Amino acid sequence: MKSIKRLKPFCRCIKVFALSIATVISLVIGPVVKTYAVSPPESSSAEITENTYDEATQKDGTSKAESGLNTDKPESSFASGSTEAVVVESDSNSGEDKSNQDVPKESKSNLKQSSAPKFSIDTIADGLGVVKDFAVFAQYYTMSCHMEGNIAVNNFEVISGNVGNSNKVFKNIGKFNLNISIDAGSLNVGRTYSVYIFDNPNRTGNPVFKKELTITDANGSEHITATGLDASKVYYVFLLDSQNNIISQSNVTGEQAVSSSNDSYIKNVIAFKDEVFQPAGDFQQRVVFGNDYRLNSSTDPQKTYQTTGDGTYILIRKNDGKALGKIGGGTNNKVSIATESFPIDFDGIFTRLNSLSSELSSGDFNSNVKVINAELKSSGQNALRNALLEALHESDINYLDKTGIPLGEDQYLVINVNCNGYSSVTIPQCKIGGVDYASWDEKSVIAGRVIWNFFNKDRSGNYTPYSGNVNENSGMLGTILAPEAEVIVNSSMTGAIYAHKVKNPGGEIHKMTFWPSKTVTRNLNFNIPYSLTVKKVWSDNNDAAHKRPSQIIIDLYHSESGDAGIRGTLLQTVTIKRNADGSWPEYTFTNLPNSGFYKVVERPVDGYVSNTTTSKKACGDIITITNTYLPTYTLPSVGGIGTDKFTSTGLVSIISAALFLIILRRRDKALIS
């Protein structure tokens, strides 16, 4: 006991020392522990920030601005992603902010809030929305030169030229792949087929694609792909058997395979001319006018058409009955009037485009989107050229039109142009990805990966829409996004224009809209049915006994089981009749399900027995039914006394034996008694 008492002071000292150590540790590493307790992972969203902070202050009473954290929420309607944030509480006793004290490296790297959500090509495309279907989307469009593309405009003034997609639009907008799936079924396994693709329905000339394949999959499924098909053409696809007989055929077109539309929308007409809409290549285009107009037939001026097909029609303004011009009909134009509200809300869409322009001007982008930020520092025709050279760190004034902006095969390009309040800006001659700025060929598809975004920003970074003039004087590649500006096209360009006003007094507009997918895939399915041919053979010495019937009846059964004892479901019963010359025709069951098991049963034929054998053919099987004649024989007469006497003697003997047995039985009973 004395030893224990001596130890008590020593234990008290140990306890005090431990409490002191614990207090020091809590003061030093407490904030770090709290950081790990409340810090969201890297994928956490801005909602965590909102739940951690109140409207104006943090939990420790300091303002958001004082904390050094950028807690502004992104207002993007188009970008997607999450904003990361880490909350570090300060020591409650000292009031000192220890957010950078004794924090591990991995925590320090998260102390700064990440930038706004990154833009991808898909979010840019979503921001453009419906406008990316059009070569021109504008509140006002004055057309003075031919253009190749469809339009959506609030007010349309035609001075000269034609509008509408052309074959070249579809040809240059890209290629498409065609996936062909063949369902031959298990019953066609082992058979060989061929797929041919022609550019004409008559299969003349060389095919653009051909492929022979043998069905090896146990379920009878095979897939092939034809790549690089021209989006401007109609293709005719044929599936042939091994004997080159057509099993199935279909036609496909690239029109719907690309991000492009044939439809034009014109709400109001300021001035018009005859035959303004050119044929849309091999495809039908639709033109929709606002409901302030009506269409009259040139052959029947008194008749009003709401929706028209072939023929020529006159556009009539309702309020004064003025004829504005003829519209060619035919198979390539479908002209109609919006009978209710106009299907496009121009004001609402331009509000959206302004928001997208603002977001692009300061957004963060994924690695496959290249961004060039150019700021005008002077006026004049070369101001944008000089700004681009500065942004690219190039001093050679010929760099843009000789070398140009490099662009990878899978890269997209956003050129942000801060017009800095200048009233006019001119797009310079500029190659992109090695493609000439005046190109209008297959290489110009690169224009679908480029956006020129025009805006104003002050020194504080405040965005305002650009409302000056954008001049295109020497050809260009890409989409012009300038929702409040006036774009003037003086030289042919490849791309699209989305602006408040558009004029093309001296240059054509060749449609090549922003298109996230370079190659689109279409699908075509072929189902190969099963066929079964019945062939009749007689083995009867050429009907020497004259026993052949004039017809036979056969039943076709189908089952999922291959059990010989199961007939399955009766599918068909057919009667096969003998030909006039005595021959027997073959009969083929067609369009049968291509899986399961089939049995052909011949109903009995008097005097014959039948057996079946199966053989393959190009598309199906052949069942041969062989009927063998079984003759009946009668014993011939050979003379003598015949059989009657033997029969009578036999009967008498049987009766005598029976009577004898009866007499014996009665005698035995008498003796017993």
**β-strand partners of 148:** 510
Q: In this predicted structure, what is the pLDDT of residue 616?
A: 80
Q: How far apart are the first and last CA of the chain?
A: 130
Alpha helices in 115-172 (DSSP H): 121-128, 167-172
Q: Assign 499 a pLDDT band (cuts: 50, 70, 90).
A: very high
Q: Assign 8 a pLDDT band (cuts: 50, 70, 90).
A: low
Q: In this predicted structure, what is the pLDDT of residue 458?
A: 93
Return d(Cα 47, Cα 84) in angstroms, integer.
Answer: 9
* Lookup: tokens for 460: 């504080």
How many whole angstroms from its chain centre is CA 134? 20
Q: In this predicted structure, what is the pLDDT of residue 20?
A: 54
611 φψ region: left (φ > 0), alpha (ψ -120 to 50), beta (else): beta
Q: In this predicted structure, what is the pLDDT of residue 49?
A: 26
Higher-scoring residue by pLDDT: 30, 432: 432
Secondary structure (DSSP) of 483-538: EEEEEEE-S-EEEEEEEEEEEESS--EEE----S-SSEEEEEEEE--EEEEEEEEE
Q: In this predicted structure, what is the pLDDT of residue 644?
A: 67
The angle formed by the CA atoms of residues 99, 101 and 103, to the nearest 5 degrees, is 85
Indicate the helix (H) or strand (E) that contains 645: helix 644-672
Return d(Cα 17, Cα 59) in angstroms, integer.
Answer: 33
Indicate the helix (H) or strand (E) that contains 545: none
Looking at the predicted structure, is the pLDDT value of residue 80 above 80? no
Higher-scoring residue by pLDDT: 673, 91: 673
Domains of the chain in sequence order:
29-116 (no CATH), 138-170+259-337 (no CATH), 175-257+522-526 (2.60.40.4150), 345-512 (no CATH), 529-629 (2.60.40.1140)
pTM of the predicted model as reported, rounded to 2 decimal places? 0.59
Higher-scoring residue by pLDDT: 298, 238: 238
Q: In this predicted structure, what is the pLDDT of residue 241?
A: 92
Higher-scoring residue by pLDDT: 288, 325: 288
Angle of helix 121-128 relative to helix 346-362, nearest 10 degrees? 150
Least confident of 318-332, 510-524, 624-638: 318-332
Q: Assign 15 a pLDDT band (cuts: 50, 70, 90).
A: low
Looking at the predicted structure, is the pLDDT value of residue 296 above 90? no
Q: In this predicted structure, what is the pLDDT of residue 29?
A: 41
Q: In this predicted structure, what is the pLDDT of residue 231?
A: 73
Mean of pLDDT over the chain: 78
Q: In this predicted structure, what is the pLDDT of residue 146?
A: 87
Q: In this predicted structure, what is the pLDDT of residue 217?
A: 93
Return d(Cα 492, Cα 441) in angstroms, integer.
Answer: 13
How many whole angstroms from its chain centre is CA 338? 29
Higher-scoring residue by pLDDT: 109, 431: 431
Secondary structure of 206-230 in the HEC alphabet? Answer: CCCEEEEEECCCCCCEEEEEEEEEE
Q: In this predicted structure, what is the pLDDT of residue 279?
A: 64
Q: In this predicted structure, what is the pLDDT of residue 204?
A: 92
Indicate the helix (H) or strand (E) that contains 439: none
Least confident of 97-101, 255-259, 630-634, 650-654: 97-101
Average pLDDT of span 328-343: 67
Q: In this predicted structure, what is the pLDDT of residue 649?
A: 72
Q: In this predicted structure, what is the pLDDT of residue 10?
A: 52
* Contacts of 55 by beta carbon, 8 Å cutoff, 6+ apart: none
Q: Assign 88 a pLDDT band (cuts: 50, 70, 90).
A: very low
Q: In this predicted structure, what is the pLDDT of residue 52?
A: 26
Q: In this predicted structure, what is the pLDDT of residue 671?
A: 66
Q: In this predicted structure, what is the pLDDT of residue 560?
A: 85
Closest to 370 (Cα-Cα) out of 322, 336, 327, 404: 404
For residue 176, the one-letter residue type is F
How many whole angstroms from its chain centre is CA 203? 28
Q: Is 289 exposed, middle or buried (0-12, 13-18, 19+ CB in 10 A)?
A: buried
Q: In this predicted structure, what is the pLDDT of residue 54?
A: 31
DSSP assignment letter at 432: B
Least confident of 72-76, 177-181, 343-347: 72-76
Return d(Cα 561, Cα 598) in angstroms, integer.
Answer: 9
Looking at the predicted structure, is the pLDDT value of residue 381 above 90? yes
Q: In this predicted structure, what is the pLDDT of residue 486?
A: 98
**Are 401 and 475 spatial neighbours (Cβ–Cβ below 8 Å)?**
no
Return d(Cα 630, Cα 266) in angstroms, integer.
Answer: 86
Q: Assign 46 a pLDDT band (cuts: 50, 70, 90).
A: very low
Q: In this predicted structure, what is the pLDDT of residue 345?
A: 95
Closest to 624 (Cα-Cα) out of 614, 609, 610: 614
Average pLDDT of span 27-31: 42
How many H-runs (helices) and E-runs (strands) does the chain carry? Answer: 10, 34
Q: In this predicted structure, what is the pLDDT of residue 19?
A: 52
Q: In this predicted structure, what is the pLDDT of residue 548?
A: 93
Least confident of 34-48, 308-322, 336-350, 556-570: 34-48
Return d(Cα 593, Cα 556) in angstroms, integer.
Answer: 13
Beta strands in 257-391 (DSSP E): 264-271, 285-289, 293-297, 304-305, 312-317, 323-328, 333-337, 364-365, 369-375
Least confident of 150-164, 287-301, 354-368, 519-533: 287-301
DSSP assignment letter at 429: P
Average pLDDT of span 237-262: 79
**Are 79 and 125 spatial neighbours (Cβ–Cβ below 8 Å)?**
no
Average pLDDT of span 52-59: 30
Average pLDDT of span 255-271: 75
**Are 231 and 171 spatial neighbours (Cβ–Cβ below 8 Å)?**
yes
Q: In this predicted structure, what is the pLDDT of residue 406?
A: 96
Q: Assign 332 a pLDDT band (cuts: 50, 70, 90).
A: low
Average pLDDT of span 510-526: 81
Return d(Cα 433, Cα 443) in angstroms, integer.
Answer: 10
Q: In this predicted structure, what is the pLDDT of residue 319?
A: 87
- Give 302-324 pLDDT, tens digit per residue: 444 433 444 567 788 888 888 88
Higher-scoring residue by pLDDT: 411, 62: 411
Average pLDDT of span 501-525: 86
Q: Assign 538 a pLDDT band (cuts: 50, 70, 90).
A: very high
Average pLDDT of span 433-444: 88
Indicate the helix (H) or strand (E) that contains 450: strand 450-457
Q: What backbone phi and psi angles, to 5 degrees, belong to 170?
A: -70, -35
Beta strands in 215-317 (DSSP E): 221-230, 234-240, 246-253, 264-271, 285-289, 293-297, 304-305, 312-317
Q: In this predicted structure, what is the pLDDT of residue 92?
A: 32
Q: Assign 417 a pLDDT band (cuts: 50, 70, 90).
A: very high
Higher-scoring residue by pLDDT: 559, 167: 559
Looking at the predicted structure, is the pLDDT value of residue 422 above 80? yes
**Are 21 and 13 spatial neighbours (Cβ–Cβ below 8 Å)?**
no
**β-strand partners of 498:** 137, 481
**β-strand partners of 181:** 223, 525
